[in-house]
Structure 1
């Protein structure tokens, strides 16, 4: 089997606490979605996202901002990984990070491990359900300093596909120009690890104390509690 050359990271529950996303980022975005849509109606990305919401929710074209926001809030409450929601949230969060109103949370063991792996010549990428537009500022505005220079590439459900499908991991490996055996995926979600393994990737599960997957069944995947225990 090829030596590991790429480590691909999930974010929520893996590098960072679920609470920091759901309580911190979601609470920040929730009241700002409507004003953001109204202030950026000429932005092609916003316009397309609104159209997607209308189509997916069965709203009439040109529905008011209030109707669109009610759908978005419903998706947030149900933790629906809807692409237009991720797009709009990502834009709001990026603005919040740039304004200094948001700071990213990382578990204490993560930044030193990322720096250590990078110094060894291992390359790092991210695969998260959060939009790439929100991933980049998340790593740039960590409490431990700017971590973005350590990450070579970013993937989400738009440019790679669903996180629980084998084909998504095959696309990522192809995009990075590496065989599956050279890829190591770190995630707290067993179904995501299963999909990566089906694509020939190496995998390691994160069993973070206090996180939703703390007591999950990881099957045959290696499992650790911190990045310091990951074998590369």
Structure 2
């Protein structure tokens, strides 16, 4: 169990498996993106410079050359169907590709705005956010999902708008989540000593990377999360939810 005397200035939270169920991401968000990517591209392909840039970036992903090489008739020009199929391929592989995450965020935005989607958060999240803010802590988010997608989950959450609790957002533009430098970059961006940042995640590799950068870390064991090995349980601080962290304090 975490120490009741734990202090921090910033709580840095992961989303999937930490504030939000893995099943929501994999069983709701990913299928929604797969089912709507073709329609979205058809409607925005010619008119949106942002979408054109995303498509160009997707073409630079190493897997794109491998994917198109397997087509019976490799396209001479990029078309909507090829990009649609490639995006669906990346989603099925759950690859952490930045332009894919950006595109998914745009597709999800339409779903949230029409009410087809509502962001899942665990029951203890709103109370924890409120308690941390009242204690004077900042709350930041670091997820492999794009910053835009992060904001949508919290703005359109099942318990209302939680975005006002959050002061900063980070995605893979600062680096990959299992690389120590990413957390050093976040600490620098926040203007905080790494030791004053508490990172909450469900992934041991992310916790290890954050600790090597000097952050405090705790691993969440939420329902549906990947089971930890005995070594991972032994070498990490574990909690079942945020309830034990309501008493976080600022350093003196």
What TM-score do you get using the length of structure 2 for normalisation? 0.86
Alignment of 1:28-177 (within 5 A): 28-41=32-45, 42-56=47-61, 57-58=64-65, 59=68, 62-158=77-173, 160-177=174-191
Shift of 1:131: 0.5
Larger relative contact order (Cα-Cα within 8 Å, sequence gap ≥ 6):
2
Mapped to 1, the partners of 2:229 and 2:223 lie a distance apart of 9
Q: CA, structure 1 residues 220+61, in 2 after alignment: closer, same or farther (shift >3 Å)?
A: farther
Structure 2 counterpart SS, 1:102: coil
SS for the counterpart of 1:114 is: helix
When the two chains are superposed, the root-mean-square deviation of aligned CA atoms in Å is 1.7
Distance of aligned partners of 1:202 and 1:229 in 2 relative to their CA distance in 1, 3 Å threshold: same
Cα distance in structure 2, aligned partners of 1:103 and 1:17 = 13
String of CA shifts for 1:27-60, please: whole Å, max 9, x gaps. 1111211121221123222111111222220256
Farther off after superposition, 219-228 or 37-46: 37-46
Greater Rg, structure 1 or structure 2?
2
2:243 paired residue number: 228
CA apart distance, 1:213: 3.9
- Higher mean C-alpha deviation, range 117-126 or range 38-47: 38-47
1:11 matched to 2:15? The reply is: yes
The TM-score, its normalising length taken from structure 1, stands at 0.94
The CA distance in 1 between the partners of 2:111 and 2:224, in whole Å, is: 27
Unaligned 5+ residue runs, structure 2?
1-5, 69-74
Alpha-carbon distance in 2 for matches of 1:191, 1:198: 11
Unaligned runs of 5+ in 1: none
Once the two structures are TM-superposed, the CA of residue 19 in structure 1 deviates from its matched residue by: 0.5
